[in-house]
Structure 1
Amino acid sequence: MRSTLFFCLIVGVFLDASAQVSKTIRIANDNIVRKNSIVRFKLKSAGAKENIYLIDKDKKKYPVQFLTDGYACAIMSLNPGEVKSFKTIRERKSASKADVLLTEAEAKFTVNGKQVIGLQTGKKELPAEIEPVFRRGGYIFPVLSPSGLSVADDYPLNHKHHHGIWAAWTKTEFEGRKPDFWNMADKTGTVLFDGIKNTESGSVFASSESVNAYYDLSVSPNKKVLDENWMIKVYNTEGDEKPYYIIDLELRQQNSTSSVLKLPEYLYGGIGFRGNGEWNGKDNANFLTSEGKDRSNGHASTSKWVHISGNIGGKLSGISILSHPDNFRSPQPMRIHPTEPFFCYAPSQAGDFEIRPGKEYIARYRFIVYDGAAEAAFISRMWDDYAHPLVIK
């Protein structure tokens, strides 16, 4: 079992309403290289008209944003074994760098005025070639690189049910029926978007929650099987090295019925990614896994992370998908398509499992989007920081 790492927090006095400098925080890093690391710590909440910053001895300021669990977070870099001290200061609230902009068709997540991703609601106009049965929401598209390249695809004509970053189960058994929530053309199952809630924007991250529902269409009236919540965060990472975006996804599925949803062993189903249309074809997309495997030998193997990349308009860009070590059957097995830019973390490859009434299936993934070639050392370092976050207690 993975051990939890804890770090030091040395506190002075809390800020009163008239003071500016409030407390001293001392952070002691372990042996992990941390760049643009998302750090959590306890801190008294700011007022509605205030921003809080950590400031180091060089007067560099780190914005602080508060989470819903009583913790605050900041983004900073630390070398292995480094100890840094910070003061906390309060300033009059200014405009946030990270933001979530809501429109009818999607929620747009932006950082420094540039869109990073969109959360689709199922209300955008379908291309003429796409039949209404394929319409769905509750998935992430577009997915943009720092240079503005779209690394994902939506409604590709050779797999119309593929959508940027999405989730669904394929082979299932439920009350004697076999609804397929993945292959929507079969008309036995679908995933519908139910709404957006808990939207937040700030100087450290922008977040929103997508509420989705899995319906069995093979019975009349149609029956809801799963309630699904996507907790999405986009972080304001910048500075220490090449530009990249960090997107966190926590997926929670709860069986909303009195019957067991059985998930037999199968090739694919779970969290999926569909790459840019220019990556179609055996030689147009590059795959690299944490175990050094590629498209030729990575399918049905397991990995902590995978990177998918290719040329878009002559420029190389890609996305790293990091699977959290607490995920079910971690490290999870993968589906890597032999000719299309499709990837899926598929726990059902490892055998049957089920989601019982009132129980939750939880999965967490981090997506890192950047331009250029895959860099195994960089992705491994980012996975270490994701898997063993700097938690100050």
Structure 2
Amino acid sequence: MKTLFRNLCLLGCLVAGQQTTAQVIARYTVQAGDIARHNSVVHIPLDQPADTEDLLLEEVAGKKRTPVAVTAANGELWWILEGHTPAGARRFYELKRANRKTSTVPVMQVTDANGALVLQQGLKHILQYNYATVEPPAGSDSVYRRSAFIHPLWAPNGAVLTNAFPNAGHRHHMGIWNPWTHTLFEGKETDFWNVQKKEGKVRFVKMESVTNGNAWCGFSARQDHVAFGKNGSEKVAINETWKVRAYPSTNNGQRRCWDITSLFHCATEEGITLLQYRYGGGFGLRTTPFFTASTSEVLTSEGKTRKNADSTRARWVKITGVTPEGKSGLLIMNAPDNYDSPEPLRVWPENMEGGELMLNYSPTKMKEWKLTNGNNYTLTYRVMVYDGDITPEEAEAAWKDFAFPPVVRKQ
């Protein structure tokens, strides 16, 4: 039976008039390891830089050859291990240089409109990164003006899973965002999260790259943590780059994954200390107002729920709820290499804001993190959005695949 990925591969790789004798330029073996895989994301450095439309990748299984959708970006080749790959299995691929560029439009695209990048698969919206400054609701203090955040995040069924400028008490909550709350910068405590304190803010600086392809689309955006001083002075404390990649949907369009990596370093010689605090940084999420204590459920890898997940550690946390478009949710996974991983959670109690939900993976909830000049730091998360619900076993399998990806070797 033809699958969605097979169709994507054919769309991405068929070339009008393409000769079948194109020269093989590389052969790869993918090893599943001791983990069963399902539509795993894999990548490997390219020996020579190339554009996606210049390359053809085929999976080789005996005499059978199957076109595979690829994205070539930043000196790497990316593709998806379509379908199920048993633990211990190996799969084989051949890379060829196309005799002419492909004429099809990439399946995964980034659209730039009205100060925002929208990542989409065909006509289906995935997420929106707001690089231009977004104005708060009428009557709000201008201090809440904000750029450099993700909202909306869409479920496959079209439901919006995030919220921005939610209410008068939490205008500073911005969909998915990650400012540090309690820091020590140049001898002064500085809060980049609660912008109403007028101590600091995160701002978009520039777009470093935008990528379209058949295996993923995404962007790399530079943003700064800016500290405010007296008399309107400003000083950049942290330089940060967000790298976001969205992958094709699976399970008949009911599952979709995307990755977000924060790369950051000190902007001054003195550095900055991210002080221990009960929330801040990492991965901040304000969910749709339709997700309340009575309409949604929280479950962590350790079996905790919204009632007792706060201040516990979790490899993954899933949130499922009811929206006007139907039941849907998101699974947030933190990488084993993240600071103090598995990271602690900040989860609002059920009686906050009428039962609405704010959740934060906070690397500094249990201990401080001193950032020193000249060093680079990384935090990575994978998010799966889904229609309906997923089981804890599915969530754990998804996290294992993310945390311990297949090994790709050039033959």
Q: Same fold (TM over 0.5)?
A: yes
2:159–2:325 contact (8 Å) kept in structure 1: no
> Quick check: 372-381 or 90-99, which moved more?
90-99
Aligned counterpart, 1:256: 267
Among 58, 65, 68, the residue aligned to 2:71: 65
Report whether the alignment pairs 1:345 with 2:361: yes
Once the two structures are superposed, what CA deviation does each residue of 1:122-145 show, in whole Å capped at 9, x if it has no partner? 434432253211111111111001
Equivalent in the alignment of 2:393: 377
The counterpart of 1:235, out of the listed 247, 262, 277, is: 247
TM-score (norm 1): 0.89
Q: Look up the equivalent residue of 1:275 and give its one-letter code.
A: T
Q: SS of the residue aligned with 2:249?
A: coil
Partner residue of 1:223 out of 215, 226, 235: 235
Distance 1:274 1:24, change over 3 A: same
| Counterpart-to-counterpart distance in 2, 1:61 and 1:146 | 26
Pair 172,75 (structure 1): closer, same or farther in 2 beyond 3 Å? same
> In structure 2, what residue type is equivalent to 1:96?
P
Secondary structure of 1:178's partner? strand
Classify 1:219/1:19 alpha carbon distance in 2 versus 1 (closer, same or farther; 3 Å): farther
RMSD of aligned residue pairs (Cα, Å): 2.1
Q: Is the partner of 2:189 in helix, strand or coil? A: coil
Task: Name the aligned partner's letter for residue 391 of structure 2.
Answer: E
Report if aligned partners of 1:21, 1:87 keep a CA contact under 8 Å in 2. no
SS at 1:60 equivalent: strand
Q: Is the 8 A contact 2:51 2:73 kept in 1?
A: no
Aligned residue for 2:374?
358
Q: Distance in 1 between matches of 2:234 and 2:51?
A: 47
Distance 1:247 1:159, change over 3 A: same
Whichever residue aligns with residue 109 of structure 2, its letter is: D
Matches within 5 A, 1:146-185: 146-157=156-167, 158-185=169-196
Deviations 1:135-175 (A, max 9, x none): 11111111001111111111100411111110011111222
Q: CA 1:161–1:30 in 2, change beyond 3 Å: closer, same or farther?
A: same
1:324 matched residue in structure 2: 335
**Mean CA deviation greater in 82-91 or 202-211:** 82-91
Asked if the contact 2:52/2:72 (under 8 Å) is kept, the reply is no
Q: Distance in 2 between matches of 1:152 and 1:61?
A: 36
Inter-CA distance 213–20: structure 2 relative to 1 (3 Å threshold): same
The alpha-carbon deviation at position 100 of structure 1 amounts to 0.8
Note if contact 2:134-2:147 (Cα within 8 Å) is conserved in structure 1.
no
SS of residue paired to 1:154: coil
Uncovered stretches (5+) of structure 2, i.e. residues with no partner: 1-18, 351-355
Q: Is residue 2:101 matched to residue 1:85? A: no
**Maintained 8 Å contact 2:206/2:221:** yes
* Offset of residue 82 of structure 1: 2.0
Identity, % of aligned positions: 26
Task: Return the alpha-carbon distance in structure 2 between the equivalents of residues 130 and 37 of structure 1.
Answer: 44
Give the distance between the partners of 1:95 and 1:314, measured in 2 at CA: 29
**For 1:336 and 1:181, how far apart are their aligned partners in 2?**
19
Q: How many Å separate the matches in 2 of 1:373 and 1:48?
A: 34
Calculate the TM-score normalised by the size of structure 2.
0.85
Shift of 1:363: 0.4
Structure 1 residue 278, shift from structure 2 partner = 1.3
CA distance in 2, matches of 1:83, 1:347: 36
Structure 1: gaps spanning 5 or more residues: 1-16
For residues 47 and 141 of structure 1, the distance between their equivalents in structure 2, rounded to whole angstroms, comes to: 30
Would you say 1:30 and 2:30 are equivalent positions? no
Which whole-Å CA distance do the structure 2 matches of 1:72 and 1:173 have between them?
41
Q: Which moved more, 1:85-94 or 1:267-276?
A: 85-94
C-alpha displacement of 1:303: 0.6
Q: Is the 8 A contact 2:330 2:383 kept in 1?
A: yes
Q: Distance in 1 between matches of 2:209 and 2:86?
A: 34
Q: 1:43–1:211: structure 2 CA closer, same or farther, 3 Å change rule?
A: closer
Change (3 A) 1:43 1:187: closer
Please say if 1:312 is aligned against 2:323.
Answer: yes
Deviations 1:6-52 (A, max 9, x none): xxxxxxxxxxx994252544433222111110112355555675341
